[in-house]
Amino acid sequence: MRIEGSPQEDKVFSILSPSIIPVIVFLIILWTIIVIPFKIIGYGFMPPDDALRHSAKVVSGKDWSQILVLRDDIKMDSHPGWHAILGFVHKLTKWDTHSLVLFSVISLFILFFITPVILLRYPESWLMAIVMLVIASPGIFFRTVLGRPYIVTMSVLVAISILWPRLRARKVPYGLLATLIILITLSTWIHCSWYLYILPIIAFFLAREWRAGVLLSICAVAGILMGAVLTLHPFLFLKQTLLHIYLAFGNTDTEQVLVGEFRPFLGDFSMVVAVAALLGWRALRGASNRKIINDPVFIIGVLSFVFGFLSRRVWIDWGIPAIMIWAAQEFEGFIAEKMDIFSWRRVVITASLAGFLYLSMSSDAESRWSRYKHVDFLSSENPEQAPWLPEPGGIVYSDSMGTFYMTFFKNPHANWRYILGFEPGLMPPDDLKIYRDIQKNMRTYVYFDPWVKKMRPQDRLIINGGSENKPKIPQLEWYYAALGTWVGRLPRGPEKPPINK
């Protein structure tokens, strides 16, 4: 049953053409998606991890070998496309590291959330899906404001999840195939997780969508190869990506030492409840839930949930976007049955959903955004900190990746390197062993001794800890240089360290 226009609606339409309704709906959603990240960064929010090092690398103009102490078999940048894009923006605007991070946060947030708005016939259904998940798990979209290039791959997955039914057409949809190849090419070039495209391909075959599965496989292979070619070192790029996976997962004997996003999860009960509620709603409407087993998008979500027990990142970056699109298409089907596309009720519904979404995602509940503005950085421009930072040619030893992210971000042109960067597996094997021993033994100071013995006068050991917890490493002299940060260096004879205030 379709809801017909009321006399009041007809009166409005006598002034405004009905065709204006979809435009108004689109503009409301677009405006909401744009203002949310601006509101969030207005609290002083800064991503705490990779977005900092991406912007700093671009500003530094250096190769990773000039920034990190690396294994001998790490030969190239793993995100050449993203750094090329940021590099272009930097040259065009002369923005510093801070501005480039804000650009990353805003542009990638908008990219992910606007993609379904452009592709869905009833884009308010996308807002419904977002609202459903926000209610089920309020912090579920935190990763969409981190300004990292995996959001590009998430956006490509969203586009595939919406466009794939066109692959069923008897006539080969060459335009769509070209579009998918371009998207996968860009995804591969910008973000190196090209191997994960095996998940949607498997899902299509499990759903017995043979034609779509074959065509998507062709697009994936072509896009991955073209993306690798864009790096100018295709074989090295593909080889190093696989090596990176092994170094991140394959050379550890306990999950404790993995970075948080790589660790397995214990399930996501709130999402299971949300999906179960949607299935129950389908049943109440008389829609068969048996069709779900033939829906490749839903199957992508299920597969990602299962693989989340190996690494939660598969679920967060692939499963959740797939479930969102599946939910949006469920809502879209219902709206299409009940409401004319030119109904003014769409404007009311969209405005209500947009208002709720803005309030729920942009509010600074429990200081979730503003807490990041209180980070205390180490800077060579600070006259009190400068003598305690590494000297030219020095090395920063630390067991915290946060030390690398924040110090490199603030000092992109500094002439020193970091023993630990954005992935422990990239460290030289002997240093990796030292780092793993520190992790496994709960940062007991004695396990820092191998690094202390390797230190030269220009090197520094940076350890996190409160002002009352001076590191018990007597071989070094210590200075409480920033909030929660101790810097140690080899003794300098009669010279005395500055007095902490």
What are the pLDDT digits (tens) for 319-334? 999 999 999 999 999 9
Percent of the chain with pLDDT over 90: 79
pLDDT at 347: 95
Considering the domain architecture, whether residues 187 and 290 belong to the same structural domain is answered as yes
Instruction: Identify which of 393, 418, 423, 419 has the alpha carbon closest to the alpha carbon of residue 407.
Output: 418
Is pTM beyond 0.75 here? yes
Residues 330 and 107 sit within 8 Å (Cβ to Cβ): no
What are the pLDDT digits (tens) for 93-117? 999 999 999 999 999 999 999 999 9
> Of 345, 370, 395, which residue is a domain's last?
370
Helices (H), 120-173: 124-136, 150-163
Asked whether residue 501 is assigned to any structural domain, the reply reads no
pLDDT of 166 higher than 70? yes
- Identify the burial level of 15 via C-beta atoms within 10 angstroms of its C-beta, where 0-12 means exposed, 13-18 middle and 19 or more buried: exposed
Instruction: Identify which of 122, 296, 282 has the alpha carbon closest to the alpha carbon of residue 202.
Output: 296
State the Cα–Cα distance between residues 310 and 4, nearest whole angstrom.
50
Asked whether residue 361 is assigned to any structural domain, the reply reads yes
Asked whether residue 2 is assigned to any structural domain, the reply reads no
Considering the domain architecture, whether residues 133 and 28 belong to the same structural domain is answered as yes
pLDDT at 500: 45
> Of 370, 394, 409, which residue is a domain's last?
370
Considering the domain architecture, whether residues 62 and 120 belong to the same structural domain is answered as yes
Considering the domain architecture, whether residues 269 and 336 belong to the same structural domain is answered as yes
Considering the domain architecture, whether residues 348 and 442 belong to the same structural domain is answered as no
What are the pLDDT digits (tens) for 224-275? 999 999 999 999 999 999 998 888 876 666 676 677 777 888 888 999 999 9
Name the residue range of residue 471's domain.
386-489
Per the document, the length of the chain is 501
- pLDDT category at 18 given cuts 50, 70, 90 is confident
Instruction: Identify which of 356, 350, 369 has the alpha carbon closest to the alpha carbon of residue 30.
Output: 350
State the Cα–Cα distance between residues 467 and 500, nearest whole angstrom.
9
pLDDT at 169: 87
Q: Running DSSP on this structure, what letter comes out for residue 481?
A: E
Asked whether residue 356 is assigned to any structural domain, the reply reads yes
- pLDDT category at 45 given cuts 50, 70, 90 is very high
Considering the domain architecture, whether residues 304 and 155 belong to the same structural domain is answered as yes
Instruction: Identify which of 500, 479, 475 has the alpha carbon closest to the alpha carbon of residue 490.
Output: 475
Residues 287 and 331 sit within 8 Å (Cβ to Cβ): no
Helices (H), 428-495: 429-440, 449-454
Asked whether residue 494 is assigned to any structural domain, the reply reads no
Q: What is the mean pLDDT of the chain?
A: 91
Considering the domain architecture, whether residues 414 and 365 belong to the same structural domain is answered as no
Considering the domain architecture, whether residues 338 and 482 belong to the same structural domain is answered as no
Considering the domain architecture, whether residues 352 and 420 belong to the same structural domain is answered as no
Residues 218 and 253 sit within 8 Å (Cβ to Cβ): no
Asked whether residue 495 is assigned to any structural domain, the reply reads no
Instruction: Identify which of 65, 87, 62 has the alpha carbon closest to the alpha carbon of residue 190.
Output: 87
pLDDT at 14: 46
pLDDT of 496 higher than 70? no
The total of other beta-carbon atoms located within 10 Å of residue 62's CB is 16
Considering the domain architecture, whether residues 39 and 104 belong to the same structural domain is answered as yes
Domain total in the chain: 2
- DSSP string across 243-295: HHHIIIIIT-S-GGGS-GGGSPP---HHHHHHHHHHHHHHHHTT--GGGGGG-
- Identify the burial level of 224 via C-beta atoms within 10 angstroms of its C-beta, where 0-12 means exposed, 13-18 middle and 19 or more buried: buried
Considering the domain architecture, whether residues 362 and 271 belong to the same structural domain is answered as yes
pLDDT of 12 higher than 50? no
Considering the domain architecture, whether residues 224 and 357 belong to the same structural domain is answered as yes
> Of 342, 370, 398, which residue is a domain's last?
370
Asked whether residue 234 is assigned to any structural domain, the reply reads yes
More confidently predicted of 410 and 310: 410
Characterize 85-105 residue by residue with b for buried, 16 or more Cβ atoms within 10 angstroms of its Cβ, and e for exposed.
bbbebbeeeebebeebbbbbb
- DSSP string across 104-119: HHHHHHHHHHHHHHHH
Query: And the tokens for 311?
Result: 């690494």
Asked whether residue 377 is assigned to any structural domain, the reply reads no
Q: Is 464 helix (H, G, I), strand (E, B) or coil?
A: strand
Q: What number of helices (H) and strands (E) belong to the chain?
A: 19, 5
